[in-house]
Amino acid sequence: MRPSPVPRPRARHHGRQGGFTLLEMLVAIAIFASLSMGAYQVLQGVLTSDEVAKKKEARLSELQLAFTLMERDITQMVPRSGRIDGENNKVLLAASRFGQQSDDWGMAFMRSGWLNPDGMLPRSHLQRVGWRLKDHKLERLSYLYPDPVIGTEPRIQPMLDRVTALRLYFYDKGAWKEEWTQRNVLPYGLAVELDLEDYGTIRRQFLIGAGGQRADNGN
C-alpha cells in the first residue's frame, strides 16, 4: 500500500493586517493637534505675560526718572529771580495755570547745584528750569544760562507720556495752598499731582531747602 500523504499545515489568516487603521490615525492626529494647540497657548500666555511685565517695568522706570529729576530741581530751588525774554522778572517761583505755555499747570524757577567741575564750562552753577504739560507729555524745560536773552528757546526734554493732568500745591504756614501769589518768597514745600492714563493719580511732595527765603539778588 502507498503511504498516505502527510497533510500540510494550513496558513493562518489574521482578521486584520499589522499597523494602524485610518480611523486610529485620524484620532492620533486629532489628539496630537489638541496637545500642540494647548502647548502653544501656554507658551503664548507666558510670552504675553513677559511682554506686559517688561512694559510695566519700563513705565515704572520712566516714572522714577521723571520724579527724580523733578526732586533735584525743586529741592535745590533758590530765591533768585532772573530775566525772561530780556526783561527783569521779580517772581522767584512762577507757577500758574497755562504757565510756560502748558496745557495745564506749569512752573519755572532758578535752581543751584548744576555741576560745573573746576569752572571748566562757560556757565554758572545756577540754572533756570521749568516743568509743564504739553500734548499729554510731561516736559522739563532748561536754559543754558540763568538769564537768557531775548529769543532764547529752552531745551525741551520729554519726561513722561500719557499724562492727562498736572496740578501744583504749595506748602506755607502749616497748610497746603492751591495758588502761590507771593512774588519774592519761596514756599516751604511743593506738591505735584499727575493724572496718568494707566496708573491714575500720583502725588509727590517735595521739601524746598530754601523755603521761606526771600530774593537774594535785589530784584
User: Could you tell me the residue ranges of all domains in the chain?
Assistant: 69-207
pLDDT tens digit sequence for 40-80: 788 777 777 778 788 889 999 999 999 999 999 999 999 98
Which residue has better confidence, 63 or 39? 63
pLDDT tens digit sequence for 157-181: 999 999 999 999 999 999 999 999 9
* HEC string for 148-215: CCCCCCCEEEEEECCEEEEEEEEEECCEEECCCCCCCECCCEEEEEEEECCCEEEEEEEECCCCCCEC
CB 196 within 8 A of CB 164: yes
pLDDT tens digit sequence for 98-130: 999 999 999 999 999 765 555 555 456 788 999
13 alpha-carbon distance from chain centroid? 78
Across the beta sheet with 127-134, the strand order is 93-97, 105-111, 127-134, 137-142, 155-160
Q: Is the pLDDT of residue 4 over 70?
A: no
Q: Say how far apart CA 140 and CA 74 lie, in whole Å.
A: 12
Q: How far is CA 99 from CA 93, 108, 216, in A?
A: 11, 8, 24
Longest dimension (CA), the chain: 151
Topology (CATH level 3) of domain 69-207: Pili subunits (3.10.610)
Q: Output the pLDDT for position 122.
A: 47
Q: Say how far apart CA 63 and CA 12 lie, in whole Å.
A: 82
Indicate if the alpha-carbon torsion angle 202, 161, 148, 111 is positive or negative. positive
Computed over every residue of the chain, the mean pLDDT equals: 84
